[in-house]
Structure 1
Amino acid sequence: MSIIEKALAKQKAKQKTDDNKSSIEQAVENKKQTTKNNNAEITKAEFNTDNSATNPVKTVSVDNGDIILDKKSLNKRGFMFDGTCRRQAQEEFRGIKRKLLNNAFGSAAKTLDHSNLIMVTSSNPNEGKTFISINLALSIALEQDKTVLLIDADVLRPSINRELEFSHRNGLLEYLLSEVTSLSDIIYSTNIKNLKIVPAGKPHNLTNELLASDKMAALAKELAERYPDRIVIFDCPPILGVTETPVLANLMGQAIVVVEESKTKLDDVIRATGQLNEDLAIGLIMNKTLKSTRESYGYYGYGYGSQAK
């Protein structure tokens, strides 16, 4: 049984407990009040965007075009900026990134095109993909000999600037529309040593065509080959119901599909992964997982491994 099949089997076993109830209803019934109390702070910080909108936390300022992140404020919201915060979560992300880095730069890289380009997506909205994208980027930025570029490729519903709370600026779509002259115009340094960010840019009605353009293909090629020590993480739209994500998948070497435990339907995961390029190294991360330990952060890395060719 493959790693992905094991992950899907685990999800299927949870869904078999009550076939007459929707997965959302089952999740609500299973999550008792004690679990709610243990995870209330995390849930509010990670996934309640309305709360961020009504009570914004000042986490960023702009200095000469750079994005200056407030590490302390963002750490309180669950984003991990150093190796000392939330040991359990750090170890889980370390385990995931080791497999990503091995696929990107180790022996597996020989079997993958653009092995250092990694897309993070989900079957449906609100399963935590952006939270995972950011924390993976932060974890990789801790590496001593690697750099990471975080790209907001969710051009339908940009989230990176909202989660890290910096104002709109030129980004991926402006570059594809030739409204900026150079790639360097949309890559912003941060106060995290090895982390740079590319925002999504302004909304546009031709996002599918722009992402499928020769210019986007050339951009992916340049990002894959320009810096031998760089991982590029693309926070992409959910797969089901949109056409942009399968288009982007053709440019990537690796893909992570975020699965929300007790909510995401097995059929959705199967349909979603079936739309991705079969040559990708595809992995699953089970998010918002319930655990009994106090250090649990509500998610864990599960079932990541490159597919055999």
Structure 2
Amino acid sequence: MTEFSRITPPRDAQEKRRSLIERADDAFGLDRLGPARVPRALPEARRTPPQVQAGAPIEPPAAETAAAESAAAPSAGAGAPPSAPPVALSGPRQAVDRECLRREGLLVPEDPVTGQLEEFRIVKRELLTEARAGNDPLARRILVCSPHPGEGKTYCATNLAIALAAERDIEVVLIDADVVKPSVTRRLGIEGGPGLMDALADPAIAPESCVIRTDIEGLFVLPAGGSNVRDAEYLASARTGELLDRLTRDAPRRILVFDTPPALAASPAAELAGHVGQALLVVRADETSRAALEDARQLLSACPDIKLLLNAARYSPSGRRFGDYGKGED
């Protein structure tokens, strides 16, 4: 602490000529200020362990903790640990009937390029752009629906899946979610079997074991499976999210395409809308009313991105006609 004792006043003329600092030196000995002398022989320092309560964890010194954390942390530039491989689609292998595809008016991978193929190439490109924009597995789940029956939603879902499968390094799983009137396997000319509803009803059934591997490279099919009166409740359960997560987890190159019942005719489309990132609402030119379109859009509002696909249009204001280039004059 600072000492505040009084400085003795000067007694004669000679002392009066001395400065205040000089007189302070006489009083307090400022010439003795300086660092303390260090003894030559220092006693050995002993480290006293910290006192801890019985049963309390003993924390290591900060330096040791920092060293341990440094050793445990990955070195700069080291890559992240590899992610787990995606679930393999392990169902039976079947060949798609090409003649059945032609009878149904569907795309045939080996056939020449047609206007129909070019149209679906444009549609798939829009969907792929969204699917690849981020690392969101929901964006790689695409629901295809229509307001009413007969507007072409299964036709569009199947053609879209075939067109997407033509992309390099992509797996497309076409899921027949129209559990009321399933028709995907019939249109492809393959046999059905256990499928979506069976895996939802019985947690012991792995969904990947029900996925049919077709001979069209990159195309897989998950049939609708057995139907019962509780289909809507199964689709609304937490099991649906778990099943779809299993199919898309750690699989950035896998796309799910759902063919659902018409939105205004059955509830599965509205139930599945919350499990997908994109929806393709198919409407038929000159048939689907604006009121039906608005009602269907409202039912699918759980999906953040709803696109409109106009089917069976016979008029193009620009005169666009895909598939004719190369057949005549430039």
When normalised by structure 2's length, the TM-score is 0.65
Q: Aligned partner of 2:191: which letter?
A: S
Q: d(CA) in 2 for partners of 1:207 and 1:282? A: 24
State the match for 1:101 in structure 2.
128
Task: Work out whether residues 123 and 258 of structure 1, in 8 Å CA contact, stay in contact via their aligned partners in 2.
Answer: yes
Aligned: 1:184 with 2:201: no
Q: d(CA) in 1 for partners of 2:104 and 2:238? A: 38
Aligned: 1:206 with 2:233: no
Matches for 1:131-280 after TM superposition, within 5 Å: 131-178=155-202, 181-280=205-304
C-alpha RMSD of matched pairs (Å): 2.3
Give the one of 97, 104, 107 matched to 1:70. 97
Give the secondary-structure state (helix, strand or coil) at the position aligned to 1:115.
Answer: helix
Task: Work out whether residues 83 and 90 of structure 1, in 8 Å CA contact, stay in contact via their aligned partners in 2.
Answer: no
Q: d(CA) in 1 for partners of 2:302 and 2:155? A: 25
Q: d(CA) in 2 for partners of 1:295 and 1:226? A: 40
Give the secondary-structure state (helix, strand or coil) at the position aligned to 1:259.
Answer: strand
State the match for 1:125 in structure 2.
149
Give the secondary-structure state (helix, strand or coil) at the position aligned to 1:202.
Answer: coil
Give the secondary-structure state (helix, strand or coil) at the position aligned to 2:138.
Answer: coil
State the match for 1:306 in structure 2.
none
Q: d(CA) in 2 for partners of 1:183 and 1:199? A: 10
Which string of whole-angstrom CA distances, capped at 9 and with x for unpartnered residues, describes residues 84-110 of structure 1? 53521111111110110111112xx36
Aligned: 1:87 with 2:111: no
State the match for 1:115 in structure 2.
139
Offset, 1:83:
6.7
Offset, 1:222:
2.1
| Bigger mean CA deviation after superposition, 237-246 or 141-150 | 237-246
Distance change >3 Å, CA 193–CA 180, structure 1 → 2: farther
Unaligned runs of 5+ in 2: 1-90, 324-330
When normalised by structure 1's length, the TM-score is 0.69
Q: d(CA) in 2 for partners of 1:146 and 1:185? A: 19
Distance change >3 Å, CA 178–CA 143, structure 1 → 2: same
Quote the sequence identity (%). 32
Q: d(CA) in 1 for partners of 2:123 and 2:286? A: 21
Q: d(CA) in 1 for partners of 2:321 and 2:102? A: 15
Distance change >3 Å, CA 261–CA 190, structure 1 → 2: same
Q: d(CA) in 1 for partners of 2:226 and 2:112? A: 34
Offset, 1:215:
1.1
Q: d(CA) in 2 for partners of 1:280 and 1:69? A: 34
Give the secondary-structure state (helix, strand or coil) at the position aligned to 2:95.
Answer: strand
State the match for 2:45 in structure 1.
none
Offset, 1:278:
4.7
Task: Work out whether residues 151 and 235 of structure 1, in 8 Å CA contact, stay in contact via their aligned partners in 2.
Answer: yes
Aligned length: 231
Q: Aligned partner of 1:68: which letter?
A: A
Q: Aligned partner of 1:91: which letter?
A: E
| Larger RCO: 1 or 2 (CA < 8 Å, sep 6+) | 1
Q: d(CA) in 1 for partners of 2:321 and 2:291? A: 31
Task: Work out whether residues 122 and 238 of structure 1, in 8 Å CA contact, stay in contact via their aligned partners in 2.
Answer: yes
Unaligned runs of 5+ in 1: 1-63, 298-309
Q: d(CA) in 1 for partners of 2:105 and 2:274? A: 31
Task: Work out whether residues 114 and 221 of structure 1, in 8 Å CA contact, stay in contact via their aligned partners in 2.
Answer: no
Offset, 1:81:
2.4
Structure with higher Rg: it is: 2
Task: Work out whether residues 86 and 295 of structure 1, in 8 Å CA contact, stay in contact via their aligned partners in 2.
Answer: no
